Structure 1
Amino acid sequence: MYPRFIEPGIREALKDTRVVAVSGPRQSGKSTLVRAIAGAGATFLSLDEDVTRRAAADDPTGFIRRTKGLTIIDEIQRVPDLMLAIKLAVDEDPAPGRFLITGSADIRTLASIQDSLAGRIEVFELLPLAQDEIAGRPSQFIAEVFQGRVPDGGVLDPGDLPKRIAAGGFPEALARAGAGRRRNWFGAYARALIEQDVADIAQLDRRRDLPRLVELLAQHCGEMVNLTQLGAQLSMDRKTVDRHVGILEQMFLVRRVRPWFRNELKRLARMPKLHFVDSGLAAAMRRLDPESLGPDRVSLGPLAETFVYSELAKQAGRSTDGISIHHYRDHDGGEIDFILENWNREIVAIEVKAGATVRPEAFAPMRKLASALGDKFVAGIVLYDGRQRFRYGDKLWAAPIASLWA
């Protein structure tokens, strides 16, 4: 079993919070983690089981009243009416650590939870394995760079980056030997989500178009996505595409990374970028494996960016500094792949290069941003597929991509 570095935060929350939720994509390891945290004395109820799900749906209040002690409810989105019953139970008995629930839809976006459990719940996000979890050593990359320190180390062997990108972080996929086995797993995974799980959170009139939409989104991974243009390829209006992409976000397949802007900085583009939550799934949807991805620099670049986004999102999710992730583009064409912002509104800018060379012009947008932000600009980093860390000026660095986790 791989270590999950979000575990200490969940254990701490159970000491002072009535309901603790762990949400994340299917097969990310949620059930395994909560069972390990709760121990043998807890009650485990899975709503994937027909009998349990029917009992919960038929009588939510009675179902919850029959629970004693710490109770795990797995896949809570399958019976959303349980939320009100849980609210009543924890209001009657406000003892902390009463319920530990999981969901394969983003619990924070479900109206039933927002309305019922506000102030009573703490939500944690468990995404597929991060590279530092695979290595078994927690990374402090985000904490370090917000102190103005860029980690030195983390060298990838030649050809290692395409392998890591195509492998992704799903434990079940990583357990498959060989690229072909993993590719088959990713295909089956995407089909199961689209054919079975979508109905738990939405009724879509054109659900049959979802597989093609997922493939199109994979082709635009790492780009600013024009929903009108996407819809034209599917004979779908923009509003319908937006709703479908929103459902895929709720299911943790994709993320729209919002643009960063401040009122004092004018002329900033405000269209979101799209990334897949798991780079392995994105590569599989594009029919790319390590052997074909390595020489294909056109595909490697966007997928390397998605890979870095996924690593940053996992580390940000276990940070206590309220890290948000955005992208930056001004109307003069200056772009920065990721803007990390903490509670103090301090900024770290990160650009991703899939090649082994960093050119000075890669820092031009960062210099411009640093000049505008002054002391709030902490660091600008170009992550590249190289072997050494270099300083390129005040607060500006080039560092190997593996510095994220090594």
Structure 2
Amino acid sequence: MIASPKLPLVPRRAETAVATALEDTRVVLVEGPRQAGKTTLVRQFVHERRPYLSLDDPVILANAKSDPVGFIRNLEGAVIDEIQRAPELMLVIKQSVDTDTTPGRFLLTGSANVMALPTIGDSLAGRIEIVELFPFAQAELLERSGDAIDRFFSGDPIVIGEPVVGQDLAQLVTRGGYPEAIGRADGKRRIKWFDDYLALILDRDVRDIATIDQLEKLPLLVRLLAEQSGQLSNHSNMASALQISRATVGRYIETLERMFLIDTLPPWFSNRISRLIKTPKHHFLDSGLLAALRRFSPAPPQTDPERFGPLLESFVGSELRKLIGWSDARVTLSHFRTKEGDEVDFVLEDQQGRVVGIEVKASATLRRGDFSGLRKLEEAAGDKFVRGLVLHDYDGPRPFSEKISGVPVSVLWAN
């Protein structure tokens, strides 16, 4: 669960996963962006033999960095918050849990992908379970089942639920999922929170996980990525605009990924179609942050569909990413685009190679051409194609073919 002065207590799906992991795993790491609710979640698992220690406390951090062995040596167990601030503790924790293999000894949080840090990635293999915690999904806020991914692959009829359309949908998208942002009804105050949040991460947190030679370029890169969200990635153009090398752009983007600010969507491919684009796309992991960066005002979507479209696409991508983490199936997320321009925004593929395609449209009206990418994906996937959905600003289903239809965005959190 997560508490906020402006939100009621909301159950988190990750809570059960953490509790289960602590029963049989020596180290559990809760990863996700800052202000997503990690601290509130892990504090529920504090007890006498597992005290809470925050590396945001300068005294505790100094002790951990100056003497990591001594810091860990006398701990029977601990909840250690923001472990990326002292990654040297990870190797000492490994030595400790190799000596005492009792499950649930250490519960860690990280506002960065610490397992990608040099010398850390393999150190706790077989000893650690990672639980992701992102900002709220709509299914969490509404206390719904959150099983949309499994239902999509089941082939059962789509559940529409209570549709959210028009300005109500725009409000959801611009609000995003961060608890503090949701609690701010005033749009200007919400943008102020996002501006301060981003400044803190780019000025301080990034130093914990990367060496950035030209730190002043990072906010400019974030704004470039915001303007190009959902488009094919072009590192060369960004490098030219920022007057840095293409390799530096790639390295900085990787850092932003590790900070859970953006998500790179790889291309889906099939041997059935040779003329496929193999360039990734970038999306922001929270549509509220993207809306703040683009200074989008949540007017009815139909008044400015070109500006609303990329925000809605990132919103859907973020919801899918969260739902995938809750699914019983192991599902990958990618995008599909042919060299002729046919595209599908999101391709979900399970371990059996079965495919679900999801296209996102900001309009309430659908035209035949809006289904062309899904028809091409169906051709490429063959009998592995389960269904295709066009998620758009409408309040009911619109069948197009046996396996392809238009549906409201709210199918993502309908029971």
TM-score above 0.5, yes or no = yes
Structure 2 CA distance for aligned equivalents of residues 63 and 25 of structure 1: 26
More deviation, 73-82/12-21: 12-21
Q: Hey, what does 2:141 align to over in structure 1? A: 134
User: Structure 1, residues 166-194: CA drift from partner, whole Å, max 9, x if none?
Assistant: 10110011112311110100000010111
Q: Hey, what does 1:88 align to over in structure 2? A: 95
1:79 aligns with 2:86: yes
1:97 aligns with 2:104: yes
Aligned pair partner of 1:313 in 313, 321, 325: 321
CA separation of 1:55 and 1:252: change in aligned 2, threshold 3 A = same
Contact 1:255–1:274 under 8 Å retained in 2:
yes
One-letter amino acid matched to 1:290: P
Deviation at 1:363, TM superposition (A): 2.1
Contact 1:301–1:354 under 8 Å retained in 2:
yes
Q: Hey, what does 1:380 align to over in structure 2? A: 388
1:343 aligns with 2:347: no
Determine helix, strand or coil for the equivalent of 1:183: helix
Structure 2 CA distance for aligned equivalents of residues 8 and 184 of structure 1: 33
Q: Hey, what does 1:52 align to over in structure 2? A: 60
Deviation at 1:265, TM superposition (A): 3.5
One-letter amino acid matched to 1:126: L
Deviation at 1:41, TM superposition (A): 6.0
Q: Hey, what does 2:285 align to over in structure 1? A: 277
Q: Hey, what does 1:160 align to over in structure 2? A: 168
Structure 2 CA distance for aligned equivalents of residues 292 and 237 of structure 1: 40
Aligned pair partner of 2:125 in 118, 122, 134: 118
Deviation at 1:42, TM superposition (A): 2.9
More deviation, 146-155/205-214: 146-155
TM-score after normalising by structure 1:
0.96
One-letter amino acid matched to 2:278: R
Deviation at 1:212, TM superposition (A): 1.2
More deviation, 285-294/3-12: 285-294
Determine helix, strand or coil for the equivalent of 1:348: strand
- State the 4+ residue runs in structure 1 displaced beyond 6 angstroms: none
Contact 2:165–2:394 under 8 Å retained in 1:
no
Unaligned runs of at least 5 residues, structure 1: none
Structure 2 CA distance for aligned equivalents of residues 161 and 41 of structure 1: 46
Contact 1:7–1:37 under 8 Å retained in 2:
no
Deviation at 1:213, TM superposition (A): 1.1
Deviation at 1:90, TM superposition (A): 0.8
Structure 2 CA distance for aligned equivalents of residues 118 and 264 of structure 1: 37
More deviation, 368-377/157-166: 368-377
May I ask how many residue pairs the two structures share in their alignment?
405
Contact 1:154–1:400 under 8 Å retained in 2:
no
Structure 1 CA distance for aligned equivalents of residues 346 and 393 of structure 2: 17
Q: Hey, what does 2:260 align to over in structure 1? A: 252
User: Structure 1, residues 215-250: CA drift from partner, whole Å, max 9, x if none?
Assistant: 111111111120110111111111111111111111
Contact 1:141–1:405 under 8 Å retained in 2:
yes
One-letter amino acid matched to 1:240: T
One-letter amino acid matched to 2:268: W
Structure 1 CA distance for aligned equivalents of residues 25 and 49 of structure 2: 19
Unaligned runs of at least 5 residues, structure 2: 1-8
User: Structure 1, residues 328-365: CA drift from partner, whole Å, max 9, x if none?
Assistant: 00112110000001122211100001111122222222
CA RMSD in angstroms, aligned pairs only: 1.6
CA separation of 1:28 and 1:51: change in aligned 2, threshold 3 A = same
Q: How does 1:130-279 map to 2 (within 5 A)?
A: 130-149=137-156, 150-279=158-287
Q: Hey, what does 1:396 align to over in structure 2? A: 404
Deviation at 1:115, TM superposition (A): 2.4
Deviation at 1:293, TM superposition (A): 6.4
Structure 2 CA distance for aligned equivalents of residues 265 and 375 of structure 1: 15
Structure 2 CA distance for aligned equivalents of residues 157 and 399 of structure 1: 11
Contact 1:80–1:112 under 8 Å retained in 2:
no
Structure 1 CA distance for aligned equivalents of residues 213 and 376 of structure 2: 46
CA separation of 1:38 and 1:375: change in aligned 2, threshold 3 A = farther
One-letter amino acid matched to 1:278: D
More deviation, 45-54/359-368: 359-368
Aligned pair partner of 1:63 in 48, 53, 71: 71
Structure 2 CA distance for aligned equivalents of residues 212 and 379 of structure 1: 39
Q: Hey, what does 1:31 align to over in structure 2? A: 39
Structure 2 CA distance for aligned equivalents of residues 63 and 2 of structure 1: 34
One-letter amino acid matched to 1:123: I
User: Structure 1, residues 361-394: CA drift from partner, whole Å, max 9, x if none?
Assistant: 2222222322332321111111111000132212
One-letter amino acid matched to 1:76: I
Determine helix, strand or coil for the equivalent of 1:378: strand
Q: Hey, what does 1:367 align to over in structure 2? A: 375
